[in-house]
Amino acid sequence: MRLRIMNETGLYIHIPYCKRKCTYCNFHFSTQFSTKSHLIVALIQEIQERAIDAEGKDVKTIYFGGGTPSVLGEEEMAQIFEAIHNSYNLSDKAEITLEANPDDLTKDYLHILKNQGINRLSIGIQSFVDEHLVWMNRSHDALQSHQAIQDALSMGFTNLSCDLIYGLPMCTDDQWMDNLSLINAYQIPHLSAYALTVEDKTLLSQDIKKNKIAPLKDDHTIRQMDMLLDWVVPNQFEAYEISNFAKAGMRSKHNSSYWTGNHYLGFGPSAHSYDGQRRQWNISNNALYIHAIQNKLPYSEFENLSKKEKFNEYIMLQLRRIEGLNFTIIQEEFPEYASKCLTTLNAMVEEELLNNNGNRFTLTRSGKHLCDHLSMRLFAEE
C-alpha cells in the first residue's frame, strides 16, 4: 500500500532486556544484562547511521518498546535522545511513548522520564490481582501497579495507557470486571487489552505440552472479550482497533501510524522498518547485533513487498481497525484482487461477520472473535 503521508516518520526503539521471563511472552528479549551497555552504544550508532532513511521527514512519534524499556538508566536515555536530536528532525509536538513495568516507575524515575521528554507511558499492568501476576511471572505486584499509576498521574503524566490480559485460566469474570473498573477509577484514557494466547517457545506453551497446565478454553476467553466490548461504549471508550481502546483524542499516534501503512524506522535487535515498498528487520540476537554494528557487518534483512503481500497486509491491518476495509482503496490500488475480494466480503456480510457501510466493511461482534480467520479468507493466494 502506498504511503499515505510522505513527509513524516515514526521511530521505534527496541530495548531487549527484562528482569524476568513472563510465561506468555514470545517477543525478543534477554534476562542477561551483561551486554546492555555495549548494546546501547550499538543502538545509538544505528540511530545515527540510518538518519539518511528519514531525510526530509519530520519525526512525529517515538516509541520505546521491548523487552522492558524502563530498565534504561538516566544516562543511557539521555544518550539515545541526544542521538535522535542531533540526527533527526523531531517535531515539537511529537508523541514520545515509553513502555514501563510498574515496579520501575518510582517517583525519581518518573522525574527522569519527564525531563527526557517522555510524554506518554504505556504501563504493563496485565492484572490488578496478585495471583494472576504470580502465574504470569510478572516482576511487580498489584500494590506496585496502583502506586505506579497514582505517582504517574500526580507527576502530570495524563497521557497514560495500561495493558491488561484477559482469558487467564484462573481469572474469574468478576475479577476481569474489577480490572476494567480500575481503569475507569483512575481515569486512564487508553487501554490495550489482549487475549491470552499460546505462542511457540514460551513457558506457557511448554507447560501445556508437559500437561502442567490445561489447554486454554476458548469459551472463557470469548466471554471475557464480550464483557470488554460491552464495557467500552458506556465508559466513553472507542474500540479503534481490535485490542486498543481510547477516550476521544487519545488514540496511540505511533501505533495508528503503523496500522495505516505509514513510514517508520525500527532500531535495535528484532526491530522492523517500513518505507512503503520494503520491509526491513534486524537480527533477533543481542550479541550478534552488537558484533555486526561494531564491525560494520550487515545486521538486518530486507524484503521488497510484492503486490500480493501489500494487499494481504492491507487486509490484515485494516480489518482490525474501527474504520475497516475501504473497498475504494482496494479497487484503486489492488484492482487484480478486487472482484474476488468483494465476493468474499459480501459472503461475510451474509454470515453476519461484517457490516457493509457503503464502501467500508467493518467487523461485527461475531466477526471480532474470528478476525484472524476472516483475514485469511480474504488473503490473495496468487
Residues 6+ apart with CB under 8 A from 86: 48
Going along the chain from its start, the domains and CATH numbers come out as 8-259 (3.80.30.20), 307-378 (1.10.10)
φ and ψ at residue 110, rounded to 5 degrees: -60, -35
- Report the DSSP pairing between strands 354-357 and 360-363: antiparallel
Which residues are 65's β-sheet partners? 14
Q: What are phi and psi of 22, to 5 degrees?
A: -65, 145
> Which cell goes with 117?
521528554
Question: Residues with Cβ < 8 Å from 41, sequence gap 6 or more?
Answer: none
Residue 120 in grid coordinates: 506518554
H-type alpha helices, the chain: 36-49, 74-87, 107-116, 130-136, 142-154, 173-185, 203-209, 218-232, 253-259, 286-294, 307-319, 327-333, 335-350, 365-369, 371-378
Print pLDDT tens along the chain (382 aa).
555 677 999 999 999 999 988 888 888 888 899 999 999 999 999 999 999 999 999 999 999 999 999 999 999 999 999 999 999 999 999 999 999 999 999 999 999 999 999 999 999 999 999 999 999 999 999 999 999 999 999 999 999 999 999 999 999 999 999 999 999 999 999 999 999 988 888 888 888 888 888 888 899 999 999 999 999 999 999 999 999 999 999 999 999 999 999 999 999 999 999 999 999 999 999 999 999 999 999 999 999 999 999 999 999 999 999 999 999 999 999 999 999 999 999 999 999 999 999 899 999 999 999 999 999 999 998 7
- Calculate Rg over the CA atoms of the chain: 21
The three grid cell numbers given for residue 115, joined into one nine-digit string: 525531563
**8 Å CB contact between 31 and 19:** yes
